[in-house]
Amino acid sequence: MSLLLKNGCGIVAGQLQALNVLVEAGRIKQFNGDDTADKVVDLQHAFISPGLVDVHVHLREPGFTNKETVKTGSAAAAHGGFTTIGAMANLNPTPDNGELFMQQVKLNQTGTVKIKQYAPVTKHRQGQAVVNFEELQAAGAFAFSDDGDGITNANVMLTAMKQLAALKLPLCDHAQDMDLTQSGVINAGATAQKLGMPGVNNVSETAQIARNLVLAQATGVHYHVCHVSTKESIELVRIAKASGVNVTCEVTPHHLLLDDTNIVDDDAQYKMNPPLRSQADRLACVAGLMDGTIDMIATDHAPHTDKEKGQGLLASPNGIVGSETAFALLYTKFVSSGIWPLHKLIEWMSIAPTQIFKLTNVGQLKIGDPADLAIFDLEHSTTIAANQFLSKGHNSPFIGQSVYGGTVMTLVNGQIVYRRDSNHD
Ligand SMILES: NC(=O)N[C@@H](CC(=O)O)C(=O)O
Ligand SMILES: [Zn+2]
């Protein structure tokens, strides 16, 4: 079965140009040939991207299937143009041994995109005793994270880093000093004061990163900071990189697009961890990406039920959905306005995560690669609407926004896993 994607455009050798892609047996066979195929799709000038890669997603199954399942979370990813996602381990049960991990890998196969599974760093993600890293590596773990919680005990962190350095696997840190965070729910600052909400200080993130950079340097581990959000954290990573520490980091779309001045009332669609910080922090995130301190963009897709998120800032859980809006929001704000070239957005959302996490079996728009492709409509605008989401979660502060860059089609190994019009009729 062959498929010809015709009349598209794409970045070839650094230039945006007209592009036809021939897919055969699940792989990219040829560019711009004069071929015919079993099936031909006219892309009407839409943009053909390597499938996007999101290393920070919460799929919620098992344990929290009222929020999301592997099926709905992967459908949401496909809707956003993601063909490979990294699924976090804050599940119930926690996949913290070989047997549970292998069950998780099997469950993940019910998804429509490629799912790489994180294993936790500590048993039950409780920050006390490290897992059996070798056993989990053998079961298929591509990286380790206690995401959702910081690791308080420095010796536990050091032990984990030493062992992961030996196995050459990354430690991905939800960098948060749990004692410094206390009961904060949004960024400490004028907005928190005005709304009478307890605040979260920047130091709760930055102090943890400072400690962990020192430990990373001592062990040589690949230390990856999840969802970096403060200007001081970014400066620390910048200094550490310059002195040769093996550190990488990611930033979320919401920390690039929003800050605490966007929170005008007690609305939990603006509550996530780390919180939306100050405008200066947001601008430091943008600058950090552009100067290479921040390596990639990851959504931290964190679905919760409407009921949970309807409870206001104090009581609602942290997190917003991100899979289905990330590309269009970032394209609209930063690329169509001329701040970023399109190829940089693709680098941060596909190429860099694939390379840095050494992901295998991920197609990158090269002849012979698996046909993992995302096709976006850069010319027409659409409105972000909750009833268009394929995620179970509707918790997004971006609902109602008008964006360019909606997904036309997503293919994984040459199979269409999302197609506009057919998925929403
Ligand atoms: N980011 C969030 O606000 N929430 C995440 C946990 C996490 O990524 O820290 C979740 O699992 O809901
Ligand atoms: Zn986290």
Position 334 confidence tier, pLDDT thresholds 50, 70, 90: very high
Q: Average pLDDT, stretch 332-358?
A: 98
Query: Are 202 and 290 within one domain?
Result: yes
147 annotated ligand-binding residue: yes
For residue 166, the CA-to-ligand 1 centroid distance in Å is 29
273 annotated ligand-binding residue: yes
Distance from C-alpha of 263 to C-alpha of 254, rounded to nearest angstrom: 13
Note the pLDDT of residue 267.
98
Decide if 108 is inside a domain: yes
Q: Which domain holds residue 384?
A: 2-48+368-419
Position 252 confidence tier, pLDDT thresholds 50, 70, 90: very high
Question: Looking at residue 228, which CATH number applies to its domain?
Answer: 3.20.20.140
Give the ligand at the shortest distance from the Cα of 63. Answer: 1
Decide if 127 is inside a domain: yes
Residue 194 has phi, psi (to 5 degrees) of -60, -40
Query: Are 95 and 233 within one domain?
Result: yes
174 annotated ligand-binding residue: yes
| Model confidence at 226: pLDDT above 70 | yes
Atom of ligand 1 nearest to the CA of 176: 9
Query: Are 131 and 44 within one domain?
Result: no
Task: Provide the greatest CA pair distance for the chain.
Answer: 65
Decide if 321 is inside a domain: yes
Residue with CA at minimum distance from ligand 1 atom 4: 319
Residue with CA at minimum distance from ligand 1 atom 6: 148
Among 249, 228, 298, 351, CA closest to 54 = 298
Query: Are 21 and 168 within one domain?
Result: no
Note the pLDDT of residue 424.
47
For residue 425, the CA-to-ligand 1 centroid distance in Å is 32
Query: Are 44 and 78 within one domain?
Result: no
| Model confidence at 30: pLDDT above 90 | yes
Task: Quote the pTM value.
Answer: 0.98
Residue given tokens 């390379």 in the structure block: 355
Contact 224, 173 (CB under 8 A): yes
Going by C-beta distance under 8 Å and a sequence separation of 6 or more, which residues neighbour residue 66? Answer: 305, 392
Q: Look at the chain and report how many structural domains it folds into.
A: 2
Encode pLDDT of 130-179 as tens digits. 999 999 999 999 999 999 999 999 999 999 999 999 999 999 999 999 99
Note the pLDDT of residue 336.
97
Residues near ligand 1 (Cβ within 6 A): 58, 90, 147-148, 174, 272-273, 300, 302, 317-319
Give the ligand at the shortest distance from the Cα of 318. Answer: 1
CA torsion sign, 419 to 61 to 109 to 298? positive
Query: Are 287 and 384 within one domain?
Result: no
For residue 255, the CA-to-ligand 2 centroid distance in Å is 13
Decide if 362 is inside a domain: no
Note the pLDDT of residue 422.
65
Residue with CA at minimum distance from ligand 1 atom 2: 319
Note the pLDDT of residue 425.
38
Q: Average pLDDT, stretch 202-226?
A: 98
Active-site residue identified among 54, 146, 149, 300: 300
Catalytic residue check, 42:
no
Query: Are 97 and 243 within one domain?
Result: yes
Query: Are 61 and 29 within one domain?
Result: no
Decide if 196 is inside a domain: yes
Among 298, 328, 299, 324, CA closest to 392 = 324
Encode pLDDT of 256-308 as tens digits. 999 999 999 999 999 999 999 999 999 999 999 999 999 999 999 999 999 99
Angle (deg, nearest 10), helices 154-167 and 203-219? 50
255 annotated ligand-binding residue: no
The residue among 312, 329, 356 that closes a domain is 356
Residue with CA at minimum distance from ligand 1 atom 3: 319
Query: Are 37 and 65 within one domain?
Result: no
Decide if 425 is inside a domain: no
Query: Are 232 and 281 within one domain?
Result: yes
For residue 67, the CA-to-ligand 2 centroid distance in Å is 17
For residue 87, the CA-to-ligand 1 centroid distance in Å is 12
Query: Are 285 and 347 within one domain?
Result: yes
Distance from C-alpha of 415 to C-alpha of 399, rounded to nearest angstrom: 29
Question: Looking at residue 409, which CATH number applies to its domain?
Answer: 2.30.40.10
Contact 33, 22 (CB under 8 A): yes
Note the pLDDT of residue 36.
86
Decide if 205 is inside a domain: yes
Note the pLDDT of residue 12.
79
Contact 127, 146 (CB under 8 A): yes
Give the ligand at the shortest distance from the Cα of 60. Answer: 1
* Best probe residue, ligand 1, of 90, 318, 321, 392 (max atoms within 8 Å of C-beta): 318
The mean predicted confidence, pLDDT, of the chain is 97
HSE-up of residue 82 (Cα within 13 Å, Cβ side) = 35
Q: Which own/partner pairs from 60-65 qualify as long-range (CB within 8 Å, at least 24 positions apart)?
A: 60/91, 60/303, 61/91, 61/107, 62/91, 62/92, 62/93, 62/107, 63/91, 63/92, 63/93, 64/91, 64/92
Encode pLDDT of 109-129 as tens digits. 999 999 999 999 999 999 999
**Percent of the chain surpassing pLDDT 70:** 99
| Model confidence at 421: pLDDT above 90 | no
Note the pLDDT of residue 33.
87
Contact 61, 119 (CB under 8 A): no
Contact 173, 223 (CB under 8 A): yes
Decide if 386 is inside a domain: yes
- Structure token digits, residue 354: 């694939």
Encode pLDDT of 74-100 as tens digits. 999 999 999 999 999 999 999 999 999
The residue among 356, 386, 406 that closes a domain is 356
Query: Are 389 and 264 within one domain?
Result: no
Encode pLDDT of 51-72 as tens digits. 999 999 999 999 999 999 999 9
